[in-house]
Amino acid sequence: MAITKVKPSGPDGIQRPNSSGITVIIIGLGYAGAVAAIECHRKGHKVIVFEQASEIKALGDVIGITGNAAGIISKWGNGKVHAQLEPILCDYERMNLYTHKGEYLTGHTMLGYSAGSGYAANRGDLQVIFYKHMLDLGIDVRLGHPISDLFEDENQAGVVVNGERIAADCVLACNGVHSNSRSFIIGRSDKPTATGYAVFRAWFDGSEARKDPKLAWAFEGDRDKMETYIGRDVHCIVGTGRRAKDIVWTCTHKDTWDIAESWSYPGKISDVLKVLDGWDQRIIDLVKWTPESQLVDYKLVWRDPLPGWTSRHGRMILLGDSAHPFLPTSGQGAGQAVEDAGTIAICLELAGKSRVQLALKTCEKMRYARATLAQKIGIETRDAWHNFDVEQFKKDKRSIEMPRPDWLFGHDPQEYAYEEFETAANAVLTGGPYMPRNVPPPGESHRTGDFTGKKIKAWVDYDKNRKEDVPLRAKL
């Protein structure tokens, strides 16, 4: 059964603005929301974004948009956005793992994460660049607009903002793990569950700290450093950012606070030092340099995988953390949110205005198994670190590595969406089985390190230009 009604623009293509006749409301301006807005605009849909924050600020620590997702962003503005990102990216060569006492265990490359094959950077800086690009495109972004209610029927879906009902063809709920959209869309209350852990997070200017000879280890060479220390119920990731200009670190630890109180607290250096009592002195020295104003204690919460992401009438869908919250140890939270966003824009393009519900359900069909499996990796990695087994490590050093499987890092979600849409849509229409091809085949391990590196096209172009000693941004 043929589904597609339009000439597809293809993975690298764009449609004329507002040419699809589809109006999309997006709730939330995190990574899922920002990318969904830009990709929907690129595929010809009219976009309205509602964000409850009154401004977009450059705040936060490091976030990694891995290669499977960074390829989507690298195309924006014919490479202009990539050129803006390149100077702020972290350039990690390896991740080295140590015991909490500083004894070296193993290490692996950062292919898929680092500059050249991914976008690792300060999350606030990335967000500001994405936001400015949305404004350049003329996307309707409404800051300081909290959603008080949602509504939908067979013909439309919408939001209530400041007492006004605003309708569209569909609503994409991208407002995160604390999303109040989840209960409306899934039809029941769904509160987050405490994981029992929280993470201290910090990012600060390292210009003064690098003068301290005790921190010389963190500033060796001109590439960024990432070191991971693992102990019982605690792990720390410490290193540098912005090409060794800044210091960034996180420390995941046991937490007993009631998550109903808050999900993020101002952190205290004294609390960090208590958690790290007896740990390698190098980490202690680095933590002591941290301005307390740059430290937060972020509560890690969890929601079990949902049975589905779409609403009763099929005109609303959860994307990103709203649908599948990730632990930091997955390394894929932002990547899977971006994959969601790129996929929904293509599904709407191919289904057309008369089949918006089919588009949302097909997106879920293509994305559900992949995102759920990627979620699992975060739990497995955290448990491997927090319950470090020396004997198991002797048998298999990869048991404590961050997995870098090709099925995850080497995937092109846009190409897959165009290739797979009709098969997945037919499964939705007929109720028949669907076997996704974006997960490992049955019987194969999902925790592998077989990704060998795939350069983002914009990076290939950038390298060529650097050989000519002409920055990419100067040629655009």
Pairing type for strands 170-173 and 92-99 reads unpaired
**What are the tokens at 13?**
């293509």
Q: Which distant-in-sequence residues (6+ apart) come within 8 Å of 21 by Cβ?
A: 353
Q: Let me know if 441 is exposed, middle or buried by CB neighbors in 10 A (0-12, 13-18, 19+).
A: exposed
CA distance 368 to 174: 16
Q: Which distant-in-sequence residues (6+ apart) come within 8 Å of 348 by Cβ?
A: 20, 22, 24, 40, 43, 45, 170, 356, 359
Is there a contact between 347 and 309 (Cβ–Cβ < 8 Å)? no
Token look-up 């969406």 returns 417
CB atoms under 10 Å from CB of 106, counted, come to: 14
CA distance 135 to 217: 41
First-to-last alpha carbon distance for the chain, in angstroms, is 43
The reply to whether 229 belongs to the active site is: yes
The reply to whether 201 belongs to the active site is: yes
Cite the beta strand spans of 258-328 per DSSP E.
Answer: 264-266, 295-302, 316-318
Within 103-254, where are the H helices? 123-137, 181-186
For 51, the 3-state DSSP assignment is strand
Looking at 119, 197, 229, 368, which residue is catalytic?
Answer: 229
Looking at 42, 123, 182, 201, which residue is catalytic?
Answer: 201
Catalytic residues: 201, 229
